[in-house]
Amino acid sequence: MARNARSVLAGLWMVGLLLPGGAAVAAVSNATTTTATVAPAAQRPEIANHRCLRCHADQEDKFVLRRDGSRNNVYIDPKVLEHSVHGKVACTGCHSDVTKLPHAKPLAGAVGCVACHQQKWEAAQKDPDPKKRERLDVVLKQTDNYLHSAHAKPNAKNQSRVNAACHDCHDAHNIGAPGEAQRMEHRMKNPEVCGRCHEKQKTDYVGSVHGKAILEKKDEKSAVCSDCHTTHNIVSPRKDPMQMAITKNCGDCHKTAQKTYLASYHGQVNQLGYANTAKCFDCHSGHKMQKVDDPASTVHFNNRLEQCKNCHKNATKSFLAFQPHGDPDNKEKYPWLWWSKRFMQALILGVMVFFWTHTLLWLYREVMDRIQGKGFTEDLDRPEIVYFRRFSPIWRWVHALFAISTMVLIVTGTALLFSHTAWAKAVIDFLGGPKIEGIVHRTAAVTWLSIFVFHLIVVARNIWGKREAAFKWFGGTSLVPSWNDLRDLKNMFKWFLGFAPRPEFCHWTYWQKFDYWAPFWGATIIGASGAILFFPEKTAAVLPGWVFNIATLVHAEEAVLAAIFLNTVHFFNVHFRPERFPMSTTIFTGAIPLEEFKHDHRLEYERLLAAGELEKHLVRRPSRRVDLAASFLATVLIIAGLTLLTLMLIGLGTH
**pLDDT above 90: residue 118:** no
Which of the four pLDDT bands, split at 50, 70 and 90, describes residue 109?
Answer: low
**Cβ-Cβ contacts under 8 Å for 370 (sequence gap 6 or more):** 377, 578
**pLDDT above 80: residue 607:** yes
Q: Which CATH architecture fits 392-653?
A: Up-down Bundle (1.20)
Please indicate, yes or no, whether the overall pTM of this predicted structure exceeds 0.95. Answer: no
- Which range among 33-42, 592-601, 631-640 shows the weakest confidence by mean pLDDT? 33-42
313 DSSP 8-state letter:
T
pLDDT computed for residue 147 by the predictor: 92
**pLDDT above 70: residue 163:** yes
- Which range among 24-38, 337-351, 438-452, 485-499 shows the weakest confidence by mean pLDDT? 24-38
**Cβ-Cβ contacts under 8 Å for 343 (sequence gap 6 or more):** none
Q: What is the mean pLDDT of the chain?
A: 88
Calpha distance 253→249 (Å, rounded):
8
Which of the four pLDDT bands, split at 50, 70 and 90, describes residue 11?
Answer: very low
Contact 172, 111 (CB under 8 A): yes
Three-state DSSP state, 71: strand
Note the pLDDT tens digit of each residue in 354-397. 999 999 999 999 999 989 888 887 776 677 889 999 999 999 99
Amino acid identity at 94: C
**pLDDT above 60: residue 279:** yes
In the sheet where 618-620 sits, what is the strand order? Answer: 591-593, 386-389, 618-620
Amino acid identity at 550: I
Buried b (16+ CB within 10 A) or exposed e, 177-195: eeeeebeeebbbebbebbb
Contact 497, 465 (CB under 8 A): no
**Cβ-Cβ contacts under 8 Å for 83 (sequence gap 6 or more):** 176, 180, 182
What average pLDDT does the segment 541-558 reach?
A: 96
Contact 501, 372 (CB under 8 A): no
Please give the torsion angle defined by the CA atoms of residues 510, 514, 517 and 521, in that order, rounded to the nearest 10 degrees.
150
Which among 652, 402, 374 has a CA at the least distance from the CA of 523? 402
Calpha distance 57→77 (Å, rounded):
6
DSSP string for residues in 474-505: TSTT--S--HHHHHHHHHHHHHHTTSSPPPP-
**pLDDT above 60: residue 44:** no
pLDDT computed for residue 110 by the predictor: 67
Radius of gyration, CA atoms only, the chain: 39
**pLDDT above 90: residue 331:** yes
**pLDDT above 60: residue 427:** yes
Note the pLDDT tens digit of each residue in 190-244. 999 999 999 999 999 999 999 999 999 999 999 999 999 999 999 999 999 999 9
Strands 618-620 and 386-389: antiparallel
The sign of the dihedral angle between the CA atoms of 372, 374, 375, 376 is positive
Amino acid identity at 510: Y
What average pLDDT does the segment 282-310 reach?
A: 94
Determine which helix (DSSP H) or strand (DSSP E) holds 516, and give its type and residue range. helix 510-534
Three-state DSSP state, 264: coil
